[in-house]
Structure 1
Amino acid sequence: MVEPSSVLAGAALRRLRRREGLTQAAMAERLDISPSYLNLLERNRRPLSARLMVALAERFDFDPRELRHDELVGGVDGLRRRLADERFADLAIDREDIVEWLSAAPQAAIAFARVFDAGGEDAAEPTTSPALEVRREIERWRNHFADLDRAAEELADELRLSNADLFAALSNRLREDHQLSVRIVPGEVIPGLIRRLDLHARQLQLSEMLPPHSRTFQLAIQLAQTEARDQLAALADGADFSSDQARELYRRHLAGYFAAAVMMPYGRFLRACEATGYDFAVLERRFGVGFEQLAHRLTTLQRVGQRGLPFFMVRTDRAGQFSKRYVGASEADFLDGQGSCPLWKLHHAFEAGGRMLVQQVEMARLDGVESRWVTFARAVERGSANQDQPGDFVIGLGIASNLAGTLAASRGLALNDGKAAPIGPGCVRCPREQCLQRSLAPTGRILHFERHVSAATPFPLEPPIAG
């Protein structure tokens, strides 16, 4: 139980105000207090009253539990115990210093406690990140959540009856069932954000920088968080995560999954895929989605008795870093690494002017297993809250070569002529010895240099031991 009369909430109030993009004067007006009083609250010169705590919860969707940062570190005594370590003996930190630190910068105090408890310097390199934990959980489900899919399909059918325009239907649903109006606002109204729920004004605000398909997606996410809240919570709480950050990241993925399933309802979408030969351009237009949304949805078609083709999907930036990897049912295990192959056309799509690059590749691995895939890659520009820094990515789709013959996008590609681009899963896991693009030697192989010759490859290798 939070005791309002004893809570100094300056840091929490500042974070909330910045998140909402408000000045002190604007936030004070929303709370019916003076700007000078809010200034005192933010500087921890006044404790938070019960009335203000209620006002924060009602007008900003603020969770009072966020104020109990001291519980996460054991309070002042918990920090004193850690700071009693001999490494800090010369700093003469007293109790008043700790009280001020915990009230003025609680997040920094929590960060210090985590690093200290995990063993100091080594804690800066976590063995498991929230993103990795979430990816493992998604893979455990093979990125198909049957109950969510069916609920989204039922909702999509209801919405279709009310209005064929999905954006309009979603807007009506939010207004009539949840008393939320939808407003497209200039970027400066919600700086740094693409969507904001203003509970005080009962308004869902979307940045004008979002393209139409992203606006629809954001409305569907809001509906997921409202109408599918219990299903999202059950899935998130049922996962074995080590942190709340991983659980919230997973919940966000599930909300996006539900939103995509509303925009591309399973039955209708699969029938359209099969009728068009998975023609990406036609599917984008028919369902009013972007290529990234389409690619993600294609990895989820695994309903029992109604399975689609097993695609994998990746999203990469110009540095070659994968920020999304969905394997689905494709068994594309070569994506599970820190690097990728520069010979893969996926990385050339940034310069292709929005054209789709199609390539048949032969993937080699250190264990000697080779596999063939047809991959499709296209650059996309994602909606951004910052007009000067749009998201610049390439989306890649892939499918086993023996399944690609019927795809509209692979027509004209000679799949049976024995030719495929030789690539690998990143240099440290690639056995190809004569690759001129190699930047690192493969794991477990010995380098072999001769003084009187110079090999074309920078990493000449000893022949593998037969056996």
Structure 2
Amino acid sequence: MSTSKLFLGPRLRRLRRDREMSQTDMAISLGISPSYLNHLERNQRPVTAALLLKLADSYEIDVRSFASGGGARTGPDELGEIFSDALLNDLDVPRYELAELAHNVPAVADAIARLYAALKEAGRNPSIASAGDVRALVTPENWVRDYIQQHRNHYPELEACAETLGGALSDPLSMSEPMRRRLKEAWGIAARVVPQDELGNISQLYDSDRRQFLISSQLRAENRTFALAYQLALVEFAQVLDRMVAEAAPPDDGVAQLLHMSLANYAAGAIMMPYGRFLKACEEMRYSIDRLCGEFGANVEQVAHRFTTMGRPGARGVPFFMLRVDPAGNISKRYAGDQFPFSRFGGTCPRWNLHAAFQAAGQVVTQLIETPDGHRYFTVARTIERPIKSDLSGGLLAIGLGCDIRHAHKLSCAEGYDLTNAPVTPVGPACAICPRLDCGYRATAPAGRMLAVDRLKKTISPYPFVPA
């Protein structure tokens, strides 16, 4: 560990507030005085190595990530992407200032990110911008995505409820039948599979008047099971979900509905794969997705998504990040149980072989990657089918999973890898902020950097530039 002094006041204060603790409560848990903690939070005292280890032990945090500012909702890479915009890049804000902003005043960094997202949305939808209500410029998916990431995609109350219910409904043959019976016997809701023609463009529908839950016949088997779990979550955990949505204070009803759906989806996955049993199976099966799919009657996407939620203090799983993309590169899911430099406003690095999965449909594609800060990740990509069989639902999607290389030895798909000496692919964030010089995949010139183009010679990179 570096011998330089660590002033981590804002991160320590955010950790305490995220845990809804007073300074006195946290001080007692760390064995220090409240006044000393107050000095630490105000950066009047450095955090010692011993105290950092106490924080890791008491609050299940990753020491390296916490000390480096990992886990911030809006990190230096995201700010770099914002300040690379043509509107701002002439300011030449150095990265160290962006890092200080993200680490020391994270709420301000979040506000800048929200304003920039609204600005981008205003450009796409001028009519909304002229309507006068600026809150309409915060797109529902971005608001919900930020909220989920703020909570590290882990909700202890939902986990506790789902583990109790899922354990009671567990069946070695299939959870579908126990869940169908539970809906009928406890809630008077009859679940039926009906032809897609009866539902139009809807894949599942709860008819409250007739107390019927209708599931499309074109949904794949695992998605029918998930549909039952979702409807069960809506009725079993109604009060919990309503309270969580109210506490989140979404800006409008549309965002509230989307958040409610996202939380119910989370609960459905937790019902199908109860935390304790799922974590035990993950460790025994070395995170083999196919074996876990068979064990829990789930599909690849459901298991992959569940991986990112395993953040229970004292019983954490491997912290994965996950992306879901279509062949055009549109990102429709983005979750992280660990820090990863996603491009918030763009796509993925073309050197990450996530898209190679489309050329190897059904196969597992693995890769070791290294980000510009020197962090290495073991990644897995594979294609998945869309949930519903329909000519209108499009083709395949791809799932990308990854974790810090420190955890790769726990994964069955990493067996046989020489994780120390295997080839590593350098990747980066969005091209406009990527600091890598010699990259033949660069699609845009780096923002705020002087180009080093010489008409008498051509370089591998189409946009060579002068290093900072």
Q: TM-score, normalised by structure 2?
A: 0.70
Q: Residue in 1 aligned with 2:45?
A: none
Q: Distance in 1 between matches of 2:317 and 2:353?
A: 25
Given candidates 272, 275, 281, the residue that maps to 2:281 is 272
Question: What secondary structure is seen at the aligned counterpart in 2 of 1:233?
Answer: helix
Query: Do structure 1's residue 289 and structure 2's residue 298 form an aligned pair?
Result: yes
Query: Helix, strand or coil for the counterpart of 2:180?
Result: helix
The match for 2:347 among 329, 339, 346 is 339
Question: More deviation in 183-192 or 334-343?
Answer: 334-343
Shift of 1:375: 0.5
Which amino acid is 1:131 matched to?
A: E
Amino acid at match of 2:379: T
**Are 2:145 and 1:135 equivalent residues in the alignment?**
yes
Mark the CA change 1:435 to 1:158 in structure 2 (over 3 Å): closer, same or farther: same
Structural mapping, 1:88-107, within 5 Å: none
Worse overlay, 206-215 or 331-340: 331-340
Residues 373 and 337 from structure 1, CA distance in 2 versus in 1: closer, same or farther, beyond 3 angstroms? farther
Written as runs of structure 1 = structure 2, the 5 A alignment for 1:359-438 is 359-364=367-372, 369-384=373-388, 386-390=390-394, 392-417=396-421, 419-438=423-442
Partners of 1:195 and 1:381 in 2: how far apart?
A: 18
Q: Which runs of 5+ in 2 are unaligned?
A: 1-124
Which runs of no fewer than 5 residues in structure 1 stay unpaired?
Answer: 1-110
SS across alignment from 2:309: coil
Larger radius of gyration: 1
1:244 equivalent to 2:253? Answer: yes
Report the counterpart of residue 158 of structure 1 in structure 2: 168
Indicate the SS of the match to 1:326: strand
The answer on 1:357 being equivalent to 2:365 is: yes
Give the partner amino acid of 1:187.
Q
**1:429-454 Cα shifts (integer Å, max 9, x gaps):** 21111111111012221112223222
- 2:210 maps to 1:210: no
Which fold has the larger relative contact order, with Cα–Cα distance below 8 Å and residues 6 or more apart in sequence?
Answer: 2
What is the SS of the residue equivalent to 2:246?
helix
For residue 251 of structure 1, give the secondary structure of its aligned residue in structure 2. helix
Q: Does 1:322 align with 2:301?
A: no
Distance in 1 between the 2:385 and 2:290 partners? 16
Match of 2:131 in 1: 117
Q: Match of 1:293, SS?
A: helix
When residues 339 and 114 of structure 1 are mapped into structure 2, their CA distance, relative to the original with a 3 A threshold, is: closer
Separation of aligned partners in 2, 1:333 and 1:221: 31
Cα 1:156–1:233 shift into 2, 3 Å: same
For the 8 Å contact 2:323–2:331, the answer to whether it is kept is yes
CA RMSD of aligned residues (A): 2.1
What pairs up with 1:7-46 in 2 under 5 angstroms?
none
Shift of 1:371: 1.1
The aligned amino acid for 1:429 is I
Partner of 2:240: 231
| Aligned-partner Cα distance in 1 for 2:392–2:126 | 35
Structure 1 distance, partners of 2:126, 2:346, is: 28
C-alpha separation in 2, matches of 1:438 and 1:387: 35
Q: Distance in 1 between matches of 2:264 and 2:421?
A: 43
Q: Is contact 1:130-1:249 (8 Å) kept?
A: yes
Query: Alignment partner for residue 451 of structure 1, among 444, 455, 461?
Result: 455
Is the CA contact 2:342–2:348 (under 8 Å) kept in the aligned structure 1? no
Structure 1 length-normalised TM: 0.70
Total equivalences in the alignment: 344
| CA shift for structure 1 position 280 | 1.3
What is the CA–CA distance in structure 1 between the aligned matches of 2:294 and 2:161, rounded to whole Å?
24
